[in-house]
Amino acid sequence: MTDWYSNIHLVVRWLHVIAGITWIGHLYFFNFVNVPLQAALEDAAKKAVNPQLMPRALWWFRWGAMITFLAGLTLFALVYLYTPGVGFGPNSLLIGPGGGLTDRGIWIMLGMTLGFIMWFNVWMIIWPIQKRLLTGKVPADQAPAVRKRAFLVSRANTFLSGPMLFGMLAPSHYGTFNWPTALVAAGLGLLAIGASVRSSYQVGKL
């Protein structure tokens, strides 16, 4: 209880994961529920539902992404760039005896790279497009192409989420690194998401 480092570490880790659930939960809602739903709705229903639904869902989605990212960076600093009783600086969890990255360090770098690409896609591509669509700033003739761009980037994020999560979990629950394992993990992640995307078009037709 008096160990401040462990308490702060746990709270930051908790914040990171709960924000991650909020972000990726909404990403899966958009991709597995909303895409097939929009295809099934008539225009009048879309006009009634979307102005109420989209701003709310997009708010939780983008702020979930921001808090996940900021808490993730803080967690990185606490775990890999700080040693209790010593101070700040890369520690032995990140840098091995030979001066290179440790296996744990490689896993988290892979996970964070994918997480960063996903965060970038949300804040620099998906949200700016959705904001322009919601505020009627996209001319009607350009709307389908603009919508398609947001859809493709969102779909890419959905696929990246599978391998990304292996990169988040492996550092403290797996440890050792080799490329065949990383490729199998990435393949399993992609397969699971691919199966979910496929099923999302079947649900509702049953």
Q: By CB under 6 A, name the binding residues for ligand HEM.
A: 13, 16-17, 20-21, 23-24, 68-69, 72-73, 75-76, 79, 108, 112, 115-116, 119, 168-169, 171-173
Nearest approach in angstroms of CB 3 to ligand HEM is 17
Got the DSSP string for 97-149? Answer: TTSSB-HHHHHHHHHHHHHHHHHHIIIIIIHHHHHHHHTT-S-TTTHHHHHHH
Contacts of 77 (CB under 8 A, 6+ apart): 88
d(CA 201, CA 86): 54
Nearer to ligand HEM, 109 or 146 (CB): 109
Nearer to ligand HEM, 104 or 200 (CB): 104
Nearest approach in angstroms of CB 155 to ligand HEM is 16
Residue 101: beta bridge partners? Answer: 95
Nearest approach in angstroms of CB 91 to ligand HEM is 11
Nearer to ligand HEM, 13 or 132 (CB): 13
Q: Which two tokens stand for residue 115?
A: 């997480």
Nearest approach in angstroms of CB 112 to ligand HEM is 4
Nearer to ligand HEM, 115 or 163 (CB): 115
Nearer to ligand HEM, 150 or 165 (CB): 165
Nearest approach in angstroms of CB 62 to ligand HEM is 12
d(CA 149, CA 146): 5
Contact call for residues 77 and 33 (beta carbons, < 8 A): no
Q: Which two tokens stand for residue 73?
A: 């960076």
